[in-house]
Structure 1
Amino acid sequence: MKLTQGQFSFLPDLSDDDIRVQAQYAIDKGWAVSVEWTDDPHPRNTYWEMWGHPMFDNPDAAAVVYEVNECRKAHGGKYIRVIAFDSTPGWESIRMSFIVNRPAEEPGFRVVRQEAEGRVIRYTIESYAVRQPEGARYA
């Protein structure tokens, strides 16, 4: 199962040149670009681990590709994404987010059913990866 979060998630994986072009677009807009990684890609897990510092005044997208490749060296078997943050008053949020690295095997999610008081039934989703302890979920 291919995880589909962020922009470009239904397209084939992006090359380093594709990443550079998208990062340059964000930089040209004045957005701060960051690299993040996780081994728990639950859709509600919006706070991934940050790789390095946000690149607020970075004029060159090649630095973003360099940081992505450095993160791949350390966390190549996990999910890695690039985000672009717009600090403009009134926006002050992430404008762009896309996955740039995936584990070799993506186990997917399952629906968990919970019966509550009365006839109430609650559903949630859980990644199959969380059956393993943190840090051991992917190779």
Structure 2
Amino acid sequence: MRITQGCFSFLPDLDDTQITAQVEYMLSRDWAVSVEYVYDPHPRNTYWEMWGHPMFDLRDAKGVMMELDECRKAHPDSYIRLQAFDSTRGFETVMMSFIVNRPPEEPKLHMQRTDFEGRSQKYAWDARY
């Protein structure tokens, strides 16, 4: 099962040229960019491990791509995503997020729905490799 989180998740994986174009868009909006990774992308796990520090005041996409390459080398079997933050309101707001690296074999999620009191429903899932 293909994990679908963030922008472009239903499209084929982006290549580095396409990722660079998206990073250039982020930087053109004056958004800070961060590189994050995780080995277990539970749908409710919004907090991934941060690779380095968020890149504020960066003007060149090469800086982000260098950090991404280093993260890929250190964690080749993890999910890696780029996030763009806008701080114009005085706090960080995620404006864009997309996966740029996936493990060779993704976990298969099994979702089970159970009817519960009244019209409520409960969901359970487990990951199968």
Q: SS at the partner of 1:5?
A: coil
Q: Which residue matches 1:32?
A: 32
Matches within 5 A, 1:17-96: 17-89=17-89, 92-96=92-96
> Please, what TM-score do these two structures have when normalized by structure 2?
0.88
Partners of 2:79 and 2:40 in 1: CA distance:
8
Q: SS at the partner of 2:73?
A: helix
- Once superposed, what is the RMSD of the aligned Cα atoms? 2.3
Q: Is the 8 A contact 1:3 1:9 kept in 2?
A: yes
Partners of 2:126 and 2:96 in 1: CA distance:
25
What is the percent sequence identity of the aligned residues?
58
The count of residues paired between Structure 1 and Structure 2 equals 129
Partners of 1:124 and 1:106 in 2: CA distance:
19
Structure with greater proportional strand content = 2
| Structure 1, unpaired ranges of 5+ | 130-139
Is the aligned partner of 1:100 residue 2:97?
A: no
- 1:122 Cα shift? 2.3
